């Protein structure tokens, strides 16, 4: 037994699922006309190749070609059997046909209740009329009058699809799909006739012509034009570099043609995903389309072609960096954020771009090329907070610290050893940073120890321990360093004290499950006169107030969040100093 096909259901499938736009019927009829002309040319006939589209006032269109036409047996074989196509039968011996799936004509039923076709074969003399309806019925009859060799398809719009049969809409669809076809496409209304084709497609234009074409089409001037080609896929084309920033997640809109017929103006996978900063206009002779002819079959050839096109873009950018470094830098500035994301994923692109990317450092914003020129040892802070804690002090110590807190910057900096042999890159240990400073002498250590003991005792509730070092600049009295673990532990301590008993017990269990807990570090600068005065003071209460102010000042300077107890400490310490200065020692208990 044979399967029974519900043609109405197939048409619904085509209109709602296979084709993205009802206007695709124009492309399918253009394709049939071009392929018919191609087939007649292969027969060796001499004729003026043409495809004509005529618009009538009754919402009727006529698509005519002077191609090979169809015999009655071919009509029975290729129009009455869904999925059968003359082009597929001949694809082993020729590759110049666009369509080969045998479903293209059915797209006409999306916009019309009937397809009427008059045809005369170049091989036989009978003129035939074929009429098909979406319920699966059709008729064939021989015409008594003479018609020229070729085929004419008549369509009348069904309700709600009249717009597709208006002159300007038809003209727009013909230009969209067929303006680069090598066979003349004529649009006719009444006695007015014009040619749709343009003389040169973008992939055959020189750079200036291509830039002008893209600017006309997109209303924005591209930054540059990259020639594209693939020998194995028979691809030629251009990629125009967008003059505005785009996201990696933005929909890609590459315009792709098969044998000069537009397949899609929003294909997103013909170029590698990392080529987000360009839009492509391409033509191929060899890639195989899907049944909808709005994409290509993703086979080994397709992926090989995509890789080859990606190599074209890489090579061009490498040459551009040498030939026109100013333009290369402009491209980087416009697409900076996405180029960073791309460089993380691709080793070759990383090698190409890394020296041109800028980073926030302890010496200010610098390009990696300048960083590598002046520094062979690089420290990377893993977060913006950690970088801010040490940036100013690091420069005074002649340490190159790069802020790795921005997206991708940490990975980009860590991988620089892959392109530069004699450079070292280390993650900054923020809690050990103060150990890089100059230690005090033996006598000085003995002198400051009582002050440190008092400081550790006062700051123990805030998960902070202290030390004293010499460091520059001298106007920074203290340096507070903490990391995420220390901040978490400190937050847990505060939550445990303020939460209800049940939640406080949960926090306590979590804390104990970790370990004793990391401590932040407060480093006093022995090079700072205020710190020296506080250490040398013999007044315990004044030292206490100084320690509390040094600690809270360091929190403020480092943009750290202060808890309620720390705010109380700061206010109390300030009040002590104010009372001392205003002569209110008695009131302050001093």
Would you say domain 202-326 falls under CATH 3.30.230.80?
Answer: yes
The Cα–Cα gap between 303 and 288 comes to 12
Identify the pLDDT of residue 341: 85
Residues 40-89 have pLDDT tens digits of 999 999 999 999 999 998 999 999 999 999 988 888 877 766 654 444 44
Identify the CATH number of the domain defined by range 438-483+518-588: 1.20.120.790
Q: Is 319 annotated as a binding residue?
A: no
380 beta partners: 402, 427
State the sign of the Cα–Cα–Cα–Cα dihedral 349, 352, 353, 355: positive
Structure tokens at 187: 């649009």
Identify the pLDDT of residue 81: 64
Identify the pLDDT of residue 14: 64
187 beta partners: 53, 194
Within 10 A of 509 (CB to CB), how many other CB atoms are there?
9
Identify the pLDDT of residue 578: 86
The Cα–Cα gap between 129 and 126 comes to 10
Domain boundary assignment for the chain: 7-195, 202-326, 335-434, 438-483+518-588
**Closest by Cα among 309, 331, 30, 297 to 181:** 30
Arch. (CATH architecture) of 7-195? 2-Layer Sandwich (3.30)
The Cα–Cα gap between 484 and 127 comes to 84
Distance of CA 352 to the CA centre of its chain: 18
> Which stretch of DSSP H or E encloses residue 42?
helix 24-42
The residue assigned the tokens 């040490």 is: 390
**Closest by Cα among 422, 421, 489, 429 to 460:** 489
Instruction: Measure Cα distances from 525 to 316, 438, 472 in Å.
Output: 53, 10, 8
Would you say domain 335-434 falls under CATH 3.30.565.10?
Answer: no
Query: Consecutive 10-residue runs of the chain (590 residues): their mean pLDDT?
Result: 68 67 91 92 92 94 94 80 50 39 71 93 89 87 92 94 95 96 95 93 96 95 97 95 86 92 92 92 92 86 95 94 94 90 88 94 95 95 88 91 93 94 91 88 93 94 92 91 60 52 54 61 94 92 93 86 89 88 55
Q: Is 475 annotated as a binding residue?
A: no
Identify the pLDDT of residue 515: 47
Instruction: Measure Cα distances from 501 to 219, 505, 508 in Å.
Output: 65, 6, 10
Q: Is 151 annotated as a binding residue?
A: yes
Give the SS3 label for residue 109: helix
**Closest by Cα among 184, 181, 165 to 173:** 165
């Amino acid at each position: 037994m044979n399967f029974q096909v519900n043609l109405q259901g197939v048409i619904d499938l085509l209109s709602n699922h296979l084709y993205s736009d009802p206007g695709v019927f124009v492309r399918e009829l253009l394709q049939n006309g071009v392929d018919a002309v191609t087939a007649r040319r292969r027969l060796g006939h001499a004729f003026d190749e043409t495809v004509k589209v005529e618009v009538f006032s009754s919402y009727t269109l006529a698509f005519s070609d002077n191609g090979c036409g169809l015999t009655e047996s071919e009509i029975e074989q290729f129009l009455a059997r869904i999925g059968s196509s003359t082009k597929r039968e001949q694809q082993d011996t020729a590759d110049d046909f666009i369509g080969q799936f045998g479903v293209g004509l059915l797209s006409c039923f999306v916009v019309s209740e009937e397809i009427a076709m008059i045809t005369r074969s170049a091989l036989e003399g009978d003129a035939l009329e074929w009429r098909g309806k979406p319920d699966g019925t059709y008729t064939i009859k021989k015409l008594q009058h003479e018609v020229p060799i070729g085929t004419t398809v008549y369509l009348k719009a069904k309700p709600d699809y009249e717009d597709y049969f208006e002159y300007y809409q038809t003209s727009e669809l013909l230009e969209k799909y067929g303006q680069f076809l090598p066979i003349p496409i004529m649009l006719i209304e009444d006695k007015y006739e014009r040619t749709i084709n343009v003389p040169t497609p973008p992939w055959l234009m020189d750079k200036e012509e291509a830039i002008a074409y893209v600017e006309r089409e997109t209303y924005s001037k591209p930054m540059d034009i990259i020639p594209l080609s693939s020998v194995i896929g028979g691809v030629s084309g251009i990629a125009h570099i967008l003059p505005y920033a785009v996201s990696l997640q933005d929909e890609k809109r590459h315009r792709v043609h098969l044998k000069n017929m537009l397949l899609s103006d929003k294909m997103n996978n013909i170029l590698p995903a990392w080529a987000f900063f360009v839009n492509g206009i391409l033509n191929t002779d060899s890639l195989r389309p899907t049944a909808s002819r709005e994409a290509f079959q993703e086979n080994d050839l397709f992926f090989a072609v995509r890789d080859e096109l990606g190599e074209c873009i890489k090579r061009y950018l490498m040459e551009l960096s040498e030939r026109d470094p100013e333009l290369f830098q402009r491209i980087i500035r416009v697409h900076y954020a996405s180029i960073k994301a791309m460089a993380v994923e691709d080793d070759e692109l990383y090698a190409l771009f890394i020296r041109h990317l800028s980073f926030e450092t302890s010496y200010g914003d610098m390009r990696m090329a300048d960083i590598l020129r002046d520094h062979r040892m690089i420290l990377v802070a893993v977060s913006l907070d950690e970088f801010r804690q040490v940036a100013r002090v690091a420069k005074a110590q002649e340490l190159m610290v790069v802020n790795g807190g921005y997206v991708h910057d940490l990975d980009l900096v860590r991988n620089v050893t892959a392109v530069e042999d004699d450079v070292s890159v280390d993650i900054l240990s923020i809690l050990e940073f103060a150990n890089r400073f100059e230690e005090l002498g033996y006598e000085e250590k003995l002198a400051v120890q009582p002050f440190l003991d008092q400081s550790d005792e006062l700051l123990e509730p805030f998960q902070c321990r202290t030390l004293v070092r010499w460091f520059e600049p001298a106007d920074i009295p203290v340096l507070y360093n903490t990391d995420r673990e220390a901040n978490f532990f400190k937050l847990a301590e505060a939550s445990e004290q303020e939460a209800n008993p049940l939640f406080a017990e949960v926090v306590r269990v979590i804390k104990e499950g970790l370990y004793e807990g990391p401590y932040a570090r407060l480093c006093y600068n022995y090079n700072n006169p205020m710190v020296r005065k506080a250490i040398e003071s013999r007044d315990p209460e004044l030292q206490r107030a100084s320690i509390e102010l040094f600690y809270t000042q360091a929190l403020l300077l480092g943009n750290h969040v202060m808890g309620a107890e720390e705010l109380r400490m700061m206010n109390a310490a300030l009040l002590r100093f104010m009372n001392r200065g205003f002569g209110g020692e008695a009131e302050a208990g001093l």
